[in-house]
Amino acid sequence: MATDSAQGAGAAARAVEIYTDGACKGNPGPGGWGVLLRWGSHEKELCGGEAHTTNNRMELMAVIQALEALTRPAAVVVHVDSRYVQDGVERWMPRWKRNGWQTRERTPVKNQDLWMRLDQALAPHQVRWRWIKGHSGHPQNEHADRLANRGIPKRR
């Protein structure tokens, strides 16, 4: 099941399709992020990771890396399996920004550095969000998951 929502103006008919996922071996632990970008017949894969991180940070990093990879403003559909990311952007971020990046309880927002970076990365684009249930067999989400796992640094 996928849900659909929009940020900013409506997306154009030919949007960049972005599929993202984060992965972590332990939480915290070594983690990775993966991105599949599609525009028409063009496709690009991105992945990377960190030696000590959390799953939420990798979910955020996947979306950030995808948006930062775009070379000009675009209509974008971001497919995520992370309610944390989608709810963060659509429901929580406007209030966090008004409150100086603090929660309702007046404590600093967790992962504030990445939320602020994501806010900047979103700004030039017309973004629609689609939620996909993780590990449900959705081909592009499974592809992003494989990329995220590929990005996890190997222990030496």
At residue 1 the predicted structure's pLDDT band, cuts being 50, 70 and 90, is very low
CATH code assigned at 134: 3.30.420.10
Its domain, for residue 39, covers: 2-151
Question: Contact at 8 Å (CB) between 7 and 89?
Answer: yes
pLDDT in tens, 77-88: 999 999 999 999
- 38 C-beta neighbours (distance < 10 Å), count: 15
pLDDT in tens, 127-154: 999 999 988 999 999 999 999 999 999 8
Q: Which two tokens stand for residue 130?
A: 């689609």
pLDDT in tens, 15-60: 999 999 999 999 999 999 999 999 999 999 999 999 999 999 999 9
Decide if pLDDT at 156 tops 80. no
**Do the domain assignments include residue 109?**
yes
pLDDT of residue 13: 54
Q: What is the mean pLDDT of residues 102-115?
A: 96
**Do the domain assignments include residue 19?**
yes
Between 3 and 125, the more confident residue is 125
**Do the domain assignments include residue 80?**
yes
Phi, psi of 137 (to 5 degrees): 90, 5
CA distance 58 to 71: 22
**Do the domain assignments include residue 61?**
yes
Q: How many domains does the chain have?
A: 1
pLDDT of residue 6: 47
Amino acid at 120: Q
Q: Please identify every residue annotated as catalytic.
A: 21-22, 59, 81, 135, 145
**Do the domain assignments include residue 156?**
no
